[in-house]
Structure 1
Amino acid sequence: MTSALPKRAATIRDVAALAGVSIKTVSRVLNSEAGVVAETQALVRAAVAQLNYTPNLSARNLASVVEATIGLAYSHMRLDDDDDRGGYQYSLILQIGALEACQQNGFGLIPMPCDVRAADKIEQLVAQVRERRIGGLVIAAPLGNTPGLLDALNKYGIPYVCINPNDLGPLTPHVAIDELAAAREMTEHLIGFGHRKIGFIKGIQGSRVSEERYQGYAAAHAAHGLAINPQWVMQGEFTFRSGMACGHALLSLAAPPTAIFASNDDMAVGVVHAANALGVRIPAEVSVAGFDDTELARFSWPPLTTIRQPLERMAHTAVEQLIGLIRPQRIARLVHPVHVVYPCKLISRASVAAPLAT
């Protein structure tokens, strides 16, 4: 190699000239593509170091058939300031995990909130992906359960990986958790404290996540020979407001439950607010448990016992799997189609205690 250094910022052409290879070869080395001999890779990397060359991600995007940008699509409702804005913690945690994976792999991340009430949300999402030349999507539940969405992405050849979708079949790339096992563990935890009257607040109707969490609750009851009082099972919407309404209804019963397990932290915090409004002490008079372990669970008073769903890790994995679908040579260790299921962890805090003696 020669030793001449350009005074201006180095370009990929400079790297190619210094290494004595083609621009295409430099690109293949920088993208960690297979098929470049070790000696050539060493020449290119030495030239990169000597020139202090930094790849221009935007320029690489424009020149690439498959863009180095990933979209994180999630449900979002445009609400008035005084309305319930549940789900923000969930989407923020996913963004943190997705951004970390993108940065580690030289990809950009574009958050793509979708108004779940918009009749044309599928058309809007597909149009954004195509117009902005986004390489693929990580789709968070419940948006991924929108009828027709995955068919539309398949039609236009847009790669995707879903987080906690309804469909865990072999044709849907996904990252998920064992919902049933986690919910059963939480219910067993409450039973272990001596609770026999356990209320349950479901999430969105038609959601696999919501149904499997209820199945876990029911399985724990069956294992201990406990009957489920239908009055203690309420239909929520995974929102703070629905949790508060369900909590108020449960605690206003003539024979209220001694513990309430809500299907997510937003609803569990709603139950806490309902209990405070009714003058019901937590955990002395009612224990409350949630699911997800968002910051709401830690900052609630008392802090919530909950299930820690590894959302950051799931988003990180989903991005890596998606990059593997977009550019298989970048992450060759991955196996496709994508099917990853993570366990959860029960986090015990001050919102659960033994029931009052009767």
Structure 2
Amino acid sequence: MGSSIPEVELSSGSRTMPLLGMGTATFPFAASEAMKSAILYAIELGNRHFDTAALYQSEQTLGETIVEALRLGFIKSREDLFITSKLWCTDAHPNLVLHALHNTIKKLQLEYLDLYLIHFPGSLKPGEPKFPFNKEELLPMDFKCVWEAMEECQRLGLTKSIGVSNFSCKKIADLLSTAKIPPAVNQVEMHPLWQQKKLREFCWAKGIHVSAYSPLGANGTLWGNSQVIDCEVLKEIAKARGKTVAQVSLRWVYEQGVSLLVKSFNKDRIKENLHFLDWSLSEEESYRISLIQQRKGFPALEFVSLDGPFKSPEEFWDGEI
């Protein structure tokens, strides 16, 4: 199954990224045996792209599972996998980026990452990664110098590609104005109820690949809700096609030319989530989905404070909300 998951070449040109990835964020953030078992099962089924972050506390578990997968022969070498991790806001300071990446690589028991992302366009006072955090710890990010430190990580070979997450068009444009290496990826919330058309078109024009997190709306997580799974339009299409709402949503995201990250530790769902590749939505179905009323799931209110760098959600997202 591994070879049947299509891949995309990133602007860094170092290697291709599988368009389906498995997320490892659960809330409260913690590692578990269920996570380990699910990741191992996903590798056995053919999943090759795994997404983690310093914040998720899943790096060590993912690393241990990779070792186990190699021992069991599910993969021949580390090169068979595409591993993404993220720089948390407490380390989003020019002098801490390299140290943070070294920590991540050590926990994963790897020599390098395939993709390293700035998790959010904001900094916090240095300390242990945690969420939620005290708003008094919010600091403005030195985008130019933090990105220079990210570029250094790529030049040193500690990561094959670098990118961002939760960045608006404006914040990417600001970054590009000084960047020597452009971000290869922008990982953002995206699903039929938050379609990100403007951002996708902007990133496409700049050669930045968009990766969709929470393509099913992140039900049961810190901010998620069931608005995607409960959407009547998706339910009607799913019923007519003999598919699940999840499969319809994943297929729609995939057909927009982006990669998608799906998080489930349920083995039946992990298997089910692979079955969006062997069919297509009709033009009429795609049109119906395009008319769905838009509603962002994650407003990032945690980053909004009258005393902080972002006074409103509109400011944080630069009006893309």
Which has the larger helix fraction?
1
Give the alignment's TM-score, normalised by structure 2. 0.30
Give the alignment's TM-score, normalised by structure 1. 0.28
